[in-house]
Each structure stands twice: as structure tokens, then as C-alpha cells.
Amino acid sequence: MTPVLYTVPSNRALSRALCHSRATPTQHLTMADLTYPYDKHPEPGETLEIAEGVRWLTMPMGGSLNHINLYLLEDSDGWWVVDTGLSIAQTADLWHQVFDKELGGKPVKAVVCTHFHPDHIGQSSMITDHFRCPLYMTRSEYYQARAFSGGPGSQSSWIGEEFYVRAGMPRSYLQEMAKMWEQRSSHGMAMPDLPSGYHRLHKGDTLTIGAHDWRVAVGSGHSPEHACLYCAALGIMISGDQILPVITSNVSVHPAEPEANPLKDWMESHDRFLATPDSTLILPAHNLPFYGVRARLRELISHHEDRMLAIEEHCVEPALAKELLPVLFARELDSGQMMMALGEAIAHLHLLMLRNRIERQLHEDGHYRFLSIDPDLARRAHPDSHDAPSDGPIMV
Ligand SMILES: [Zn+2]
């Protein structure tokens, strides 16, 4: 079908109108004018043709984000599935509807998961078992998923306790987190079992599917080795969570790698993705397909730069990571959001440390305190004209 073009004036309006998202998580951004060729998502269990051999479907998600977008690519002898939805019965049932009604009698021949998060890999075992077909992932994503799907995580160990105490949290926070993880698991956000083997995707690989070549483009920061698929002939990129038009992907430091610098990877990935032609239709995992990839990437880069400067301005007096949350987020955070928010604050601090703009000291009370050290800060600072704090971090 030929899509009708709707030019939407701002992400904020779009978020309210179409995505049912809680308030407007990106209202603080200087909004790029993106163009959305579709004004709504396909109905559950149905697919919508985006281009020849490319179909779009959605699956349910809990919480403020009510959907994930998945895609089907048609080959001569079957379909490639890109991302799979949460590991909940409702999603499995909808997949069976799709298998029965939407695949024209052809089987699924491969499953690609862009990255290891549960809303992307949740049904990978079900689909690959049902069709006895391979799972394709990058190596880091596959093994990260395997690692997180077994046994207690660092969230409930002394490593987790040390991480959160250093960020300024009380020891009792760990118990709150344990409760939160239980709740998440009952909503399908637990790590599901993965197929016991996989086919490795490398950056730069080409998957020939039907008449089209799809190149694997890899980003990092939201997850370690996130795969996007780009088809130059169709002018389409399936971007997963690497490039989203409305919400900002979570970029967090977690206890499992307390000295990680994911925001550095994220910013470098954005720089690389800026080479994507502006005429590309981006098919994201959340929100709606859109045009305007470079404007969106620039917007996200300046968003994180603005957040970092606001943090530097706050840290002219030594501050705990916890104390930076009001700088970044406007509202009360529940324990799950707190975990993501702290992770994001620490991600910004780590990049500032690498840039020699922030110094970190471990104090006797077990907390890290962060202090701005750039002599040039007074010249760069503009405390009265920062973006307003975000509504809250989104768990995707
Ligand atoms: Zn994700």
C-alpha cells in the first residue's frame, strides 16, 4: 500500500494522540519535525504491508508503553521475523493467529532479535521451536540474554548492594528492588529461556531475503551489540530500540558492570547512524514508523549533552548520584523507575568523568560524591535555559 503522509508538528502531540504513553516523556526535547506516514498501529494479530515483502505488526506491552512493533520480511520460501514480543500467553496466542492468517501458508524460516531485552526475545523459543528454524542475534546480545535468564542477578547480591549504596541509596532499597523484580516477572518482563543455539550476526553482514539485501548495522549503549537492519533499495531501516522517535531509550549503568560507560557508546553510535540517508523510513520497536532520522539523532545527542551540562552545574558542590535524579527527572519515581533513573544518572556521570569534567570520590559513608572540575564550566553554563526534566525513564 502507498502510505499517506501526515506531518506531525511535534513529538509531544503525537505521543499524546497515538501512543497512549504516560504523559510525554520527551516533552523537554527541542522537538524535531518528524514525518509519520501512518497514523495508527496495526490491529493486534493483523499485519500491515509497509513495502513489498515488509510487514508490520504489534504485540502488547504492560505499563505506560502499551505496544512493541515487530516486523516480517518475506523470502521466497518463508518469512523472517524481526523481534518477537513478551513471554506472555497473550503474545503467543496472537502469534498463532498471525501464523494461521497472515503468512500466506508459508512458514517462518528465521527469527532475528535486535537485542536481548525481554520484549524483543520473549517469544524467540516458541517461534523457533514451532518452525524448527534458527535464531539470529549478535553474539553479545545472545550471551547476555543467556546469562540474565539463569539464576539470581547482581541486583540481589552484595555487588548490587554496593552499587546502590555508592549511588547514595539506603541498604533497604535492595529489598524494594527484589519486590519490583518479582512484579516485573509476573508481567512477562523476566528473561525467558532462549533457544540453546543461534546464528551469529556480525556488523556489516548482509542478509538476502527475497529480492532484497538487508545490511546489519550495529549500535551500542541501550544494549551491548544492538542489530538494526538496513535495506538501501527499499530505503528502510528496522531500528529496534536503537532509534526511537518519541521515547528516549534507557541508557543505564547496572550493577553487573558498575564501571561501564554506555552513554559513550550511545553517543558514538548516534554519530555513526547520522550517515543514514535522511530519506530512510525508520521502523522502530516503539512508537510509529517515521522519516527524519538525522533530525532525531541530533535531537537525542543534544538532549544528552544538555543533561550532562545540567549535572555539571549541579555538581559545583559535591553530590550523590541519587541527588541528581531531580535534575534529570521531574516526578516521584517508583522503585523500578528509580533503578533505571539511577542507572541513567550514573551513565551521564561516567561520560563526564571520561571527559575530565567530573571527579568521583568514595567517602567514608560508602557513598560516591561527584564534583565538577572543569575550570571552563562557568563559561559554558546556562542554568536558566536547560530543557525541563523528563517525566520518568521508560523501561525498554
Ligand atoms: Zn530494549
Residue 233 domain-assigned? yes
Q: Are 55 and 102 in contact (CB under 8 A)?
A: yes
Q: In angstroms, what is the span from residue 303 Cα to ligand 1's centroid?
A: 19
Same domain, 326 and 266: no
123-169 pLDDT, tens per residue?
A: 999 999 999 999 999 999 999 998 877 655 666 678 888 999 999 99
Pairing of strands 108-112, 78-82: parallel
Q: In angstroms, what is the span from residue 115 Cα to ligand 1's centroid?
A: 7
For residues 188 and 118, what is the distance between their CA atoms, to the nearest angstrom?
8
Q: In angstroms, what is the span from residue 161 Cα to ligand 1's centroid?
A: 24
Same domain, 273 and 349: no
For residues 284 and 38, what is the distance between their CA atoms, to the nearest angstrom?
13
User: What is the gyration radius of the CA atoms in the chain, in angstroms?
Assistant: 21
Same domain, 243 and 374: no
pLDDT of amino acid 12: 31
For residues 208 and 197, what is the distance between their CA atoms, to the nearest angstrom?
21
Q: How many domains does the chain have?
A: 2
pLDDT band (50, 70, 90) for residue 384: confident
Same domain, 193 and 319: no
Same domain, 95 and 234: yes
Residue 27 domain-assigned? yes
pLDDT of amino acid 396: 64
Q: In angstroms, what is the span from residue 223 Cα to ligand 1's centroid?
A: 7
pLDDT of amino acid 186: 62
Query: Taking all residues of the chain, what is their mean pLDDT, rounded to a whole number?
Result: 88
Same domain, 206 and 320: no
Residue 396 domain-assigned? no
pLDDT band (50, 70, 90) for residue 23: very low
CA-based nearest residue to 113, from 214, 200, 222, 210: 200
Q: Which of 255, 279, 300 is the last residue of a domain?
A: 300
Residue 170 domain-assigned? no
- The residue with cell 516521584 is 332
Q: Are 59 and 193 in contact (CB under 8 A)?
A: no
Q: Which three cell numbers stand for residue 171?
A: 541498604
Q: Which of 283, 300, 317 is the last residue of a domain?
A: 300
Q: In angstroms, what is the span from residue 266 Cα to ligand 1's centroid?
A: 13
Q: Is the pLDDT of residue 83 over 80?
A: yes
Q: In angstroms, what is the span from residue 241 Cα to ligand 1's centroid?
A: 5
Q: In angstroms, what is the span from residue 222 Cα to ligand 1's centroid?
A: 6
Residue 47 domain-assigned? yes
Same domain, 262 and 377: no
Residue 30 domain-assigned? yes
pLDDT of amino acid 338: 86
Same domain, 113 and 242: yes
Q: In angstroms, what is the span from residue 366 Cα to ligand 1's centroid?
A: 31
End-to-end CA distance of the chain: 30
pLDDT band (50, 70, 90) for residue 37: very high
Q: Which of 263, 285, 300 is the last residue of a domain?
A: 300
Residue 225 φ/ψ, nearest 5 degrees? -145, 65
Q: Are 67 and 203 in contact (CB under 8 A)?
A: no
Q: What contacts 314, CB < 8 A, 6 or more positions away?
A: 323, 324, 327
Q: In angstroms, what is the span from residue 242 Cα to ligand 1's centroid?
A: 8
The domain containing residue 335 runs over which residues?
A: 305-381
For residues 223 and 237, what is the distance between their CA atoms, to the nearest angstrom?
18
More confident: 172 or 267? 267
Mean pLDDT of 168-196: 77
In three-state form (DSSP H/G/I as H, E/B as E, the rest C), the secondary structure along the chain is CCCCCEECCCHHHHHHHHCCCCCCCCCCCCCCCCEECCCCCCCCCCCEEEECCEEEEEEECCCCCCEEEEEEEEECCEEEEECCCCCCHHHHHHHHHHHHHCCCCCCEEEEECCCCCHHHHCCHHHHHHHHCCCEEEEHHHHHHHHHHCCCCCHHHCHHHHHHHHHCCCCCCHHHHHHHHHHHHHHCCCCCCCCCCCCEEECCCCEEEECCEEEEEEEECCCCCCEEEEEECCCCEEEEECCCCCCCCCCCCCCCCCCCCCHHHHHHHHHHHHCCCCCCCEEEECCCCCEECHHHHHHHHHHHHHHHHHHHHHHCCCCECCHHHHHHHECCCCCHHHHHHHHHHHHHHHHHHHHCCCEEEEECCCCCEEEEECCCCHHHHCCHHHCCCCECCCCCC
Q: In angstroms, what is the span from residue 95 Cα to ligand 1's centroid?
A: 20
Same domain, 192 and 45: yes
Q: In angstroms, what is the span from residue 189 Cα to ligand 1's centroid?
A: 11
Same domain, 137 and 238: yes
Same domain, 263 and 348: no
Residue 283 domain-assigned? yes
Q: In angstroms, what is the span from residue 171 Cα to ligand 1's centroid?
A: 28
What is the CATH number for 221?
3.60.15.10
Residue 281 domain-assigned? yes
Q: In angstroms, what is the span from residue 85 Cα to ligand 1's centroid?
A: 11
- The strand order across the sheet containing 226-231 reads 206-209, 212-219, 226-231, 236-240, 281-284
Same domain, 285 and 312: no
Q: In angstroms, what is the span from residue 66 Cα to ligand 1's centroid?
A: 14
Question: To the nearest whole percent, how much of the chain has pLDDT over 70?
Answer: 87
pLDDT of amino acid 76: 97
Q: In angstroms, what is the span from residue 53 Cα to ligand 1's centroid?
A: 25
Q: In angstroms, what is the span from residue 304 Cα to ligand 1's centroid?
A: 18
What is the CATH number for 356?
1.10.10.580
Mean pLDDT of 358-369: 96
Q: Is the pLDDT of residue 301 over 70?
A: yes
Mean pLDDT of 347-367: 97
Q: What contacts 132, CB < 8 A, 6 or more positions away?
A: none
